[in-house]
Each structure stands twice: as C-alpha cells, then as structure tokens.
Amino acid sequence: MPVAGRKVAVVGMGGAFPTCTGVADFGEKLFAGKSMIRSWDKALAYGKQIRSTVAGFITEEEMDLEAVYNVASAEYPETYIDKKGRIPDINLATADMGSIWAMIGAKESIEMAGWTEAETRSEGTGVVIGSGGAGHVILRNAWHGFFQEGRKSRAAGSHTVDRAMVYRDAANVSCYIKNRGVCESIGSACATGLGNIGYAYRLIKFGLQDRAICGGVEGTSLETFIGFDGMQVLSKGFAPEESSRPFDLQRNGFVCSFGGGIVALEEYEMAKARGAHIYGVIDEYFNNSDGDGDMFAPSFAGQHRLWAGLAEGARIKPDVVKVHGTSTPIGDIIELLCVTDVLGEEGYHVSAPKSQFGHMLGAAGSVEFIAALLMLENQKVSPCLNSSTLNTEPEAFQLKEGWTGPVKPVSEYRHLLPQETIEKEINQIVCLNYGFGGTNSAIAVSRDV
C-alpha cells in the first residue's frame, strides 16, 4: 500500500531516439513538427517479400557504436565498441543493441539527476526496464549457425543467453550502475515502457525503494519488423514522413519503430532536499486488463475502467492527453471516443507523438513519457501530424447495437487535435498506452508547483 506523504518525482531522462543525437535534439524535433521516420534500406532490400518499407530506426553508427562480428558470421555482431567510451567493454560484451541503449539512457538519466555513486549503488535504488521482445538479432544468427550451417554451439560465443534473455535490459543496466535494490523487467507488449515506469513509481510510493532507473527499449530489428508486417498491420503506400497518421481517414496501420526511453525517479522530498531539478511529479499510475478475451481488439469499456482507476488515486484534470494513437483503423477512434467521453470536449488537447516517430513497441510508453515531460518543461503541446482529413461520418462500430460511447464522427473533435505545436499553460498530462492481450496503462504527471 502507498505510504502516506510519499510522492515520486522525475529527476532525469535519457535514451535513444530515431535521427536524434539525444534528448535535447529529440525535443527540438518534437516541437518543430519534424518526422523521424525514414525509408529503411534493410526492408527495401527484400523487395516484395515485405509490404511496408518505412520505420523509425536507429543505426549503430548513429549511436557511435561499432559492431565486432563473429568470425563464423559476417551478420552476427558478437560485441560492440563504444566510440565515445560511455560503456565499459565488459558491459558491452553481455549486451545486445537495445541493452546498450538502456545503459546509455541510464547513464544520461543518472547524470541529469545528479545522484552520487553511493546513492546509485545503494539498496534504495532499483532498476525496472523491459522490452517488447527477445534479442531477435542475437538469436537468429546464433540459431542459424547451429541449425542451418551445422556449426558447434560454441561458434556463437558464450553470451547468447545473456544477450537475448527477456530480462537482459534490466540485468545489463543493473550490472553497469551496480545498484543493490531491486532489478526487474515487466513485459506487457506495447504498454511495456509505461508499465515499467508505473511499477517503479509504485516501488517508491510504497516505500520499497527511494530511487529507480526505469523505462523500456526496443532495439532495431528486422526480425521484429517482419513479424508485424506479416500481420498486415503496418502502414504502406505513403511517403515516410506521412506514413504515421493517427486519426486520419486514410490511416492504414502503424509504423514499426525502435528506440529507448529511460527515466530516473526519486522520492519527492529527497529530491527536493538536495535541490534536484524536478521535471515532473507523478500523480498516479493505474493499469488493468480488458477482460473480454480478445487478444487484439481495443476495448472501450476496458479503457473507461482505466480512467476510473486512475481518478481514484488523484485529481485528474489534464491539459494534455498523450494518447497511444498508433494509426490503426479501429484503435485510434476507440481511444479518442473514450477520452472525450471521460473528459468532455473542451479544456485540453490531444498529443499523438507516434505521428512523428512511429510505434516503438516496448519502448513506446517510456519514450512518449519523455515527450510528455518535455511538454511540461517547455509548456508546448506536440502535434498530431498527418491528421489532415477526419471522418465526417460515424464509424461503423458506432452505429452497431450495444455501442454505449459517443456517436459523433471524429471530425467533431478537430479542435482537440492540433496539427502544429501549440504553446499553452500545461499543469498536468495523462499518458495512455495499450498492448496485445488487452493490457492498458495510464499515468498522470504534473508540474512541480
């Protein structure tokens, strides 16, 4: 249970963002309305085998990393060289690409937070970081060498397990920063990033930890891309910068992207006492399941209960709602109609960051939480790009018997969906993320006043 009087502050952030050199560059592009989505040469190389060819990807070179390839395979990165000397070689040896991003994000977050070595390495500091999938790049090449080429198991090196295990991101960060508190990884599909932050918030709120490095990552992986392309849920037929189009009438799927978002959380009074800069104060976190037995379909009722649960623990009156907004035909509208049903039709704006950098899967919630922190810090609402044409007719599901939500067409909510960055007073933002299996997450974060 929560400990009376304990609050949780956000005191640092870092990570990996497509086409960006860091958090500052990410913020500049966010508010400049720039797209971080590009044509992907690795997808294009497979021609008609792949439907979608755009992504928000990050290369090794862009992160100042150099792959050292296994002698048995020119495609298998056995370890990496950090050209900037940020991560020691011993930590690079046990990490895949996403885990390296997580360690870099942890380093940036801790430096921004101003934690001492003693604080970072104490029993009061935890690590909670997850990703959406396994280390596909590592596993595919290791297995190919064994099953297809008949190589001995040792040909893949001695780190296939630790570089591909589900827990790898948290484990690598923990070994890197040498914390003595909890080290855990929460996996909840596309709600993973926000779910790990929410769990870390509860650890501090409940008095179990004083600090936490938390978030989500999704390393660049063609294997992941292929899986979603096979489901036929990815955007196609648009220029890269126009491919992610939440709420737009012509939306036809999401843009598969990659990145990492790591934040440093700290008990509020401790952060205040040492004069830390507080980027936001978490008001409440809540998560639930739809309970309807559907693996993929969004649930209006489930999302409604999510809002109700969030409001039980704090006053919820957001100036901005950071939506999940993937650019899928059904998901976007269910979400928007639930938001308007709960909050009404005035007094707030909707931000859809995926319109600029796509859907980062396990990293989505944490990278978008960083976007929300930047909105609080800059008092600006990032835009919903490409929402050019909104349906002037109700959706088919709004006309079906049993529908209990709003019946207005999406075009009636044009005023809530800014297509350009706007400046306004922002005191509270609610962030929403959902995932396969009917999992829903929401967090409310406010300015420190």
Take residue 266 and report the two structure tokens written for it. 């700290």
Only one residue has tokens 């001695």, namely 158
Take residue 448 and report the two structure tokens written for it. 């420190």
pLDDT for 72 equals 67
What Å distances lie between residue 373 and 10, 45, 57, 244, 380, CA to CA? 9, 37, 23, 22, 10
- Quote the CA–CA distance of 386 and 356 in Å, as a whole number: 9
pLDDT for 78 equals 85
Active-site residue list = 190, 324, 359
Nearest to 378 by CA among 418, 426, 443, 420: 426
Q: 270: burial class by Cβ within 10 Å (0-12, 13-18, 19+)? A: middle
The three-state secondary structure class of 140 is helix
| Sheet bearing 259-267, strands edge to edge | 183-184, 125-131, 211-218, 259-267, 8-16, 280-289, 439-446, 428-435, 320-322, 349-351
pLDDT for 143 equals 82
Nearest to 100 by CA among 171, 179, 30: 171
- Quote the CA–CA distance of 389 and 249 in Å, as a whole number: 6
pLDDT for 323 equals 98
pLDDT for 392 equals 98
What Å distances lie between residue 425 and 56, 374, 447, CA to CA? 30, 13, 10
What Å distances lie between residue 69 and 73, 200, 246, 298, 370, CA to CA? 7, 36, 39, 42, 33
The CATH topology of domain 8-446 is Peroxisomal Thiolase; Chain A, domain 1 (3.40.47)
Q: How do residues 321-338 score in pLDDT, each as one tens digit?
A: 999 999 999 999 999 999
How do 349-351 and 439-446 pair as beta strands?
Answer: unpaired
pLDDT for 224 equals 94
pLDDT for 445 equals 98
pLDDT for 66 equals 96
* Successive 10-residue mean pLDDT values, the chain, 449 residues: 92 98 98 98 96 97 93 79 98 96 98 98 98 87 85 85 94 98 97 98 98 98 95 97 98 98 98 98 98 96 98 97 97 98 98 98 98 98 97 96 96 98 98 98 96
Q: Break the chain into its structural domains and give their ranges.
A: 8-446
Contact partners, residue 121, CB within 8 Å, separation at least 6: 177, 178, 179, 180
**End-to-end alpha-carbon separation of the chain, Å?**
25
